[in-house]
Amino acid sequence: MICLKSLDTMLVLPGAFRGAEAPFAGFYYRDTRFLSRYEWEFRDATMLSRSEAGPGSLMEVFSSSIRHGADWAVLRQLFLNPSGFVDEIFFENYSLAPKFFECTLSADTDFVDMMALRLPIFSKEIPEVKTVDSFSWRAFAGDGIPMRCDISFSPEPAVKRDGSASWAIEVPVKGRLGLRVTAEFSSDSGVKDASRDGDCGDACGKPNDGAQFYAGFSGKSRGSPLRKRFEDLLNERNPFAESVRIALYDIESLMLIENGMLVPAAGLPYFAVPFGRDSFIAAGFFLGRWPELAEGVLRYAASIQGTQFTTTKQEEPGKIFHEARPGELSRRGIIPFSRYYGSADSTLLFLILLGRFTRQSGNSRLSTELRDSWRAALAWLRLKLEDGGGFIRFSSDFGTTGLVVQSWKDSKDSMGFPDGSLAEPPLAVSEIQAYAYGALMACSDLSAIDGDAKLSIICRNEARALSKRIREKFWLAKDSLYALALDGNNQALETPSSDAGHFFPYCLESVEEARALAARLLKPDLFSGWGVRTLSDRAARYNPLSYHNGAVWPHDNAIIADGMFERGLHSEAARICEAVLTAVPHPFACSPQAWSAAGALRMCDILLECREGSSLRSL
């Protein structure tokens, strides 16, 4: 599958797995498909090549069989923009006689929400489409929001009717002629959408001009400002320079502007919207080179922080969002994802990232502006620890269409005992407790900076008490690992998993214990040679192609490697980084993904720092 994106516009093209991917093909705008069909046919031509020319752009070359000495070619260049695209076709004649080219474009639309395509239960949620003329369509979503798609041509086609346009073009000897197709998408309720545009409000402090930043820090060339920050990693002597180039391309493609802030979409094509957990982890990987991304992510999250109890969306005062979708099904409340808060770790990761940003930047400007937000998040954290008997727990018993498992391994079958039986909620997942410890320590620092010595001491003492409880309930001394989770009866899931690797920055009592944990993660049942598996191959539910029960995830391994590196376990960290950066992609991986791209860049940094003996974080 090929996915291109420019802010709110996305193109999905089926790849090798056409049967599974074809239903999702098309052009999307703000999580809704605006063109379900857009196909060129060039008479007597075969596609010779297709390539992504840069973020949001595609190039294709057509001709007759190259073996027969073709004397003509058709070149196509497609450029996405924030609300549509421009498609340019060039007809080139290399012969000694004039050449006639004939081509046809067929297009159609359905204005279907991405989630209606993903979830068959909602397949009937299709708006009625009105055709204004052959290439202009209108529809109203179920909540009354008007949608429109307009396609224009230069020059006009010789024939145009019923979504089909044809041209017959004569190109002179050694000549070149072209045509241009322009598509414009719009979806406007006439009401300011607070989750996407405009001012952040008081909770967000001074707005960060995401549009200006995007214009300045994206670009196709190696000389773009963002790429200049990675010049040392793009050096041809770096064996992973190509991985760096691809990762930067991916992260540029994923950018969105939300509430005036620059934030990454989680991944294409199904998650082309902001996700809290993914954004915080990705921004954390970038802190050493691109701290502005963390600032945008933190401000945006603060602007849509929970303020009330809403069962279907699992919103609670102070809680940080999990997912924000602008599509029709979400807006109408058919699914809860317009602003969905069903993750147990996003609030904790928000606090950790704010603490790290404040510490690294050396000033309290952002933490002061977001004071009300981080204090509300802290209040949520402390209440959840109290309600969960000393741990952060979650239960799927909300009667919603939301997530059953609310840690990063959010598949419904990811929390299993070694024999394969699934744990009963409410669950306390191990790495979430580690994040809770890190969040309390971050709040201790933020409180001290804020001049609240009493709260700082309280947070630090509560962090130490939590660390002790984690030690008592999760640490498996005989296996030098942390348990995957505790079930509703406080029984430990002693299933070896990658989750234990998220503890390196938190709770470990000694260097010796860190070394033991690293050695355990690198044993063959967990370390595949391509990275640390999500689940040990000894576990009953192990499947190397499973989403969360055996596959290797780049961001998961980057977190582990980063923690090892910070603990001084450089050779162990480098082993993981080199393994992941040379791995073969999963055939059904969601690509690109923000935390995978950012994780790859962090792993390249780790390898560079191991070689040079310097740390960017100390600069």
Task: Provide, rounded to the nearest whole percent, the portion of the chain with pLDDT above 90.
Answer: 81
| Calpha distance 575→273 (Å, rounded) | 33
CA angle 493, 498, 501 (to 5 degrees): 105
| pLDDT tens digits, 581-605 | 998 887 777 789 999 999 999 999 9
> Which run of H or of E encompasses 430?
helix 430-449
| Calpha distance 276→263 (Å, rounded) | 10
Residue 194, pLDDT above cutoff 50: no
Residue 296, pLDDT above cutoff 60: yes
Which is more confident, 299 or 619?
A: 299
Residue 181, pLDDT above cutoff 90: yes
Residue 224: pLDDT band (50, 70, 90) is confident
| pLDDT tens digits, 306-356 | 999 999 999 999 999 999 999 999 999 999 999 999 999 999 999 999 999
Q: Which two tokens stand for residue 144?
A: 């009354």
The fold adopted by the segment(s) 2-187 is Beta-galactosidase; Chain A, domain 5 (2.70.98)
Query: Would you state the pLDDT for residue 418?
Result: 97
Tell me the pLDDT of the chain averaged across its residues.
90
Query: Would you state the pLDDT for residue 366?
Result: 97
Q: Which two tokens stand for residue 158?
A: 């010789």
317, 381 Cβ separation under 8 angstroms: no
For residues 370-391, average pLDDT = 98
| pLDDT tens digits, 534-578 | 999 999 999 999 999 999 999 999 999 999 999 999 999 999 999
> Which run of H or of E encompasses 575?
helix 570-581
Question: Nearest to residue 546, comparing CAs of 557, 535, 556?
Answer: 535
Query: Would you state the pLDDT for residue 131?
Result: 94
Q: Where are the domains of the chain?
A: 2-187
Which residues neighbour 397 within 8 Å (Cβ) at sequence distance 6 or greater? 425
Cα–Cα distances (Å) from 377 to 319, 353, 409, in that order, read: 6, 13, 22
Handedness of CA 321, 299, 201, 381 (dihedral sign): positive
What does 244-292 look like in DSSP terms, one character per residue? HHHHHHHHHHTEEEETTEEEE-SBTTTB-S-BHHHHHHHHHHHTTT-HH
| Calpha distance 210→489 (Å, rounded) | 47
For residues 240-263, average pLDDT = 93
